[in-house]
Structure 1
Amino acid sequence: MKQVLSITPIDGRYARLTGVLSNIFSESGLIHHRIHVELKWLKFLITDLKVHEVVHGDKSLDLSGLDVLINDFNEDYALRVKEIESWTNHDVKAVEYFIKEKLDAAGLSPIREWVHFACTSEDINNTAYGLMLKKGKDMVVDLLKTLVAEIEKKALVYKSIPMMSRTHGQPATPTTPGKEFINFAWRLNQEIEVLESTVIQAKINGATGNYNAHLFAFPEIDWMAASERFIRDYLALEPILFTTQINPNTALSRVLHAMVRIAAVMIDFDRDMWGYISFGYFKQRVNEGETGSSTMPHKVNPIDFENSEGNMGLAISMMEHLAVKLQKSRFQRDLSDSTVLRSLGTVFGYFTIGIKNAIKGLSKVDLNQEVLDKDLNDNPELLAEPFQTVMRVYGEDNPYERLKELTRGRKIQKADLVRFVDGLEKVPPEVKERMRALSPQTYLGLAESLVDLYFKDKSKNDK
């Protein structure tokens, strides 16, 4: 019932595909990550910088309960934070008050005022979103690797099977389905590498990025080094020092732009698969009871690839906006980024739906070699390219023009090509024999070798 009432399809119709993102990008997920950062910062202050000990001389404080809180979270905590927010009207302040409640209950009241010490809300938000982005990025990489693995399986099975290619939609030089699949695997791998190598940056340097309050309270502490240590060692993120109140979101933009390029590749892949299915090159396995059309019972539509294409288009439009918008802020701070960041989960939702449906579509198709062979046999003019190339080598007059006259805009037969070859004057007999023996099925160039090279390079890189 809840899914039927959902405003967006991400939490409604496609909840089964996006539910895994809920713990990261939902309101509860954001609150969880904020609590985590606040408690980690508290622990850093007390145990690493020892601020409480320096001020109060108290070395006997039992902090075991703090670690329990750091590792403890459930949905009721998020509901309590929202309850507090209803009267604070400030989401991060609500998290602070919630943590103080938990500290009091755990017998840690002496350190309650160190919660949120010297922090602006953005110190907590940018680190929380950094942790969320890192998890989301890792999930996307795993999902993409699953897709690439499925594409590679198809490539290996189909690497030697001839297929007529199309340029401008028209019959062109033969290729193999395996080689065309590998093109997409290679392109996706390029962006997977970008995602994996992109470190997520975060800052914790105060209201305008200058450590003003930190330094005034504890001038003896090297706050730049301390903040770098906290972000690196306690949060496993990459510290950034040069900011205003907000993180300039360079890393986020890098991730989103890589995902934009991936989504563009995916749309290209979806459309090619759609086209190959419409030509009959691939057959789709039918699920019993499934309806292809409300009025045409015979139809088996390529709905998974269409779904993937549509959702990737939505993802691109949002990712492009976020990637540009979130690098802008008036002077040292405005809040226009805050409302936009809340849609980060929506972006990952559409992207995830797109990838998962492409994987699903791929799992339901089988090659129809009979149709591939028919297309090749029906288009012997595909051999005009190698013939005119060989004619150039041996000095035949006007090779391109002669083959153009023979083949352009006309359907020819194999016998027409044989007669044409017989009439050549300068091509050696043994080469003519190779030309007569050539067929679209054997005119594959190095398509198979390119598939082998891909896997050879991949094996080398994996080592």
Structure 2
Amino acid sequence: MSSDRIADGRTRLASTDIALGPLDGRYRSAAAPLVDYLSEAALNRDRIHVEVEWFIHLCERSVLPGLSPLSAEQKDGLRAIVLDFDADSAKELAEIEAVTVHDVKAVEYYIGRRLEALGLAELIPLVHFACTSEDINNLSYALGIKDATEEVWLPAAKDVVAKIKEMAAEHAETPMLSRTHGQPATPTTLGREMAVFAYRLGRQINRIENQQYLGKINGATGTYAAHVAAAPAVDWQEISRTFVSGLGLTWNPLTTQIENHDWQAELYADIARFNQILHSFAVDIWSYISIGYFKQIPVEGATGSSTMPHKVNPIRFENAEANLEISNGLLNTLGATLVQSRWQRDLTDSSSQRNIGVAYGHSVLALSNVLKGLGQLAVDTDRLAEDLDQNWEVLGEAIQTVMRAEGLGGAEGMENPYERLKDLTRGHRVDAERMQEFVSSLGLPADAEARLLKLTPDRYIGVAAQLAQEYSA
């Protein structure tokens, strides 16, 4: 059989130009911003960045005999190695790694090749000085994750929360029937329900914004043994602290060979919690669409169903659900895996961390779907009003509560309020006339009776509108 065919004769598609995963194929546009921070190429660029800055730092601190601060021109030249890293650079690095069969060692050689042109050939031994691979990797990952979170994930999450807050403010006073356990319950407002989700999601964003991104550079088992052997008089802990802090990270003073990744587990747990709350939101919106509270605005030329022309499917929210579940599956696995390491080091984290971008990508894709989906919704206030008017029995809570209060105040005939309303409303549809007849028959004090007779399902919303306005500002 021809080499361009697979077993059953179909055309073979294997190609470097065809993506295996959806984030690099169908959904590339949504996930693309993460490539700058969480791709393999970005990891290698950040490794070069860390190695170059460590080289400069050691010179600046003159930690070894013969070392002195570099000139501004030399530092600019070194940093240009990072700034000029491109597709051709990545190809060269891959060719070196094919020989070294070690990714970080390839970075060391890649930098070393460029030092002679900068007049620094005699300092090639200073590249990767006293470092184990994890010294470079943990800092590179921390930089990439920090930037991906702050530059891509958080802005996307904030856009979604801002949209939900906008809906909360717009519909703060739009009455809506609640459904607890799926059954008609005390009314709320649509805006307040949106505000609840905005508040919950906002709390997670606040936690993520205050996340620490830890890093270490302390040698093969975290003891600075090689550092002290080479320069015993140097305060290597201070050198390490100032270097890590200078990268914009939080110094971890005590580790094994690896930075123990606890901060990553904390971050992924918070993002996963945000994802799960957003998943609940997507399910609720889908459900409101299904009962007609929201109408979907058709997109010109778009097809809802391949066979049923009338349909506009809530695919944005369904896609969001699926991608949030995939993201959380990865985030939860990463959080559980990364905090464990056999003795001073094993390589389980190496393979695991290469999936961080995938976890982030599915979350970012879900955020994009939710934002687009919300932009294609219109509230059907007539449907909301109709639902409220068909469920006068929800006023039973108000009536029996007023009866309790008046009975405590000495009013006659207020016995067994809950039981009497249960007999009236449970399993029965009660219309406005029947409910008002019941209220009038109770013998309530005049002011209490007047309040209840004015009450309708759409007015029985407590301070829901106030809450929506307050927490959507």
TM-score, length of structure 1 as denominator length: 0.95
Tell me if 1:197 matches 2:210. yes
Structure 2 match to 1:225: 238
Aligned to 2:457: 440
1:381 aligns with 2:398: no
What's the CA shift string for 1:132-178, capped at 9, x where partnerless?
A: 11011112111111111111111111000101110001111111111
Aligned to 2:332: 320
Contact map agreement 1:3 1:13 (CA 8 A) in 2: no
The question of 1:424 aligning with 2:442 is answered yes
1:77 match: secondary structure:
helix
CA shift digits 1:9-58 (9 cap, x unpaired): 1111110100111111111111101111011111111123353xx23689
Could you give the per-residue CA deviations for residues 68-92 of structure 1, whole angstroms, max 9, x where no partner exists? Answer: 3243321211111111111111010
What code does the residue aligned with 1:419 have? E
Q: Which runs of 5+ in 2 are unaligned?
A: 1-12, 408-413
> Which residue number corresponds to residue 180 of structure 2?
167
CA contact (8 A) 1:211 1:223 kept: yes
Give matches, 1:47-446, under 5 Å: 47-51=60-64, 54-55=65-66, 63-64=74-75, 65-138=77-150, 139-233=152-246, 235-395=247-407, 396-425=414-443, 427-446=444-463
Q: Distance in 1 between matches of 2:69 and 2:62?
A: 14
TM-fit CA distance, 1:397: 1.4
Hey, what's the Cα distance between the residues in 1 that align with 2:239 and 2:446? 81
> 1:430: how far off?
2.1
Give the Å deviation of 1:4. 8.0
* Stretch deviating more after TM superposition (316-325 or 427-436): 427-436
1:59 to partner: Cα distance: 8.2
Counterpart contact for 1:318–1:347, Cα < 8 Å: yes
How many percent of aligned residue pairs carry the same amino acid?
Answer: 42
Give the counterpart letter for 1:89 in structure 2.
Answer: V
How many residue pairs are counted as aligned between the two chains?
A: 452
Are residues 112 and 61 of structure 1, via their aligned partners in 2, closer, same or farther at CA, if it must alter by over 3 Å? Answer: farther
Q: Distance in 2 between matches of 1:216 and 1:256?
A: 38
* Contact preservation (8 Å) 2:220, 2:257: yes
Whole-Å Cα distance in 2 between the matches of residues 125 and 271 of structure 1?
Answer: 39
Q: In the alignment, is the contact (CA less than 8 A) between 1:161 and 1:176 conserved in 2?
A: yes
Is 2:45–2:82's contact at 8 Å kept on the other side of the alignment? Answer: no
1:48 counterpart letter in structure 2: R
1:84-134 superposed Cα distances (whole Å, 9 cap, x missing partner): 111111010111111111212333212111000000000000000000110
* Residue type of the alignment partner of 2:168: A
Structure 1: which amino acid aligns with 2:175?
P
Cα distance in 2 for partners of 1:185, 1:144 equals 11
> Are the counterparts in 1 of residues 59 and 70 from structure 2 also a CA contact under 8 Å?
no
- The answer on whether the counterparts of 1:175 and 1:444 sit within 8 Å (CA) in structure 2 is yes
Shift of 1:67: 3.3
C-alpha separation between the residues in 1 aligned to 2:17 and 2:108?
Answer: 35
Question: Aligned partners of 1:58, 1:390: CA distance in 2, in Å?
Answer: 80
Amino acid at match of 2:158: K
Residues 157/4 of structure 1: CA separation in 2 closer, same or farther (3 Å cut):
farther
Q: Which amino acid aligns with 2:415?
A: D
Deviation at 1:62, TM superposition (A): 6.2
Report how far residue 299 of structure 1 moved. 0.7
Question: In the TM superposition, what is the alpha-carbon distance from 1:260 to its structure 2 partner?
Answer: 1.0
Shift of 1:60: 8.2
The code of the aligned residue for 2:416 comes to N
Question: 42-51 or 306-315: which moved more?
Answer: 42-51
Q: Is the Cα–Cα contact under 8 Å of residues 176 and 444 in structure 1 kept in the other structure? A: yes
* Conservation of the 8 A alpha-carbon contact between 1:381 and 1:407: yes
Q: Is the 8 A contact 2:179 2:185 kept in 1?
A: yes
Residues 212-231 of structure 1 show CA distances to partners (whole Å, capped at 9, x for unaligned) of 10011011110001100001
Task: State the one-letter code of the partner of 1:26.
Answer: S
* Equivalent pair of 1:164/1:175 in contact (CA under 8 Å): yes
Taking the aligned partners of 2:309 and 2:354, their CA distance within structure 1 comes to: 43
Corresponding position: 1:22 with 2:39:
no
The CA deviation string for residues 249-271 of structure 1, in whole angstroms up to 9 with x for no partner, is 11111110100110110111000
Structure 2 counterpart SS, 1:10: helix
* Unpaired runs of at least 5, structure 1: 457-463
Paired amino acid for 1:319: L
Give the secondary structure class of the aligned counterpart of 1:441.
helix
Paired with 1:291 and 1:156, the residues of 2 have a C-alpha distance of 32
Alignment partner of 2:186: what SS?
Answer: strand
| CA distance in 2 between partners of 1:260 and 1:344 (Å) | 13
How far the C-alpha of 1:61 sits from its partner, in A, is 10
Seen in structure 2, the aligned counterparts of structure 1 residues 131 and 56 have a Cα distance that, compared at 3 Å, is closer
SS at match of 1:165: strand
User: CA offsets, 1:180-229, max 9 Å, x none?
Assistant: 01001111111111111111000000000000100110111100011000
Instruction: Quote the Cα distance in structure 2 between the aligned partners of 1:437 and 1:377.
Output: 14
Distance 1:170 1:42 in 2: 66
The one-letter code matched in structure 2 to 1:82 is: A
Shift of 1:319: 0.6
Counterpart AA for 2:100 = T
**2-structure distance, mates of 1:438, 1:60:** 80
Q: Could you tell me how far 1:6 is from its partner in structure 2?
A: 1.2
Q: Secondary structure at the match of 1:55?
A: coil
- Residue by residue over 1:339-385, the C-alpha shift from the partner in whole angstroms, topping out at 9 and shown as x without a partner, is 00110100110111111111111111011001000001111111111
Instruction: Write the distance in 2 (CA, Å) between the matches of 1:50 and 1:68.
Output: 24
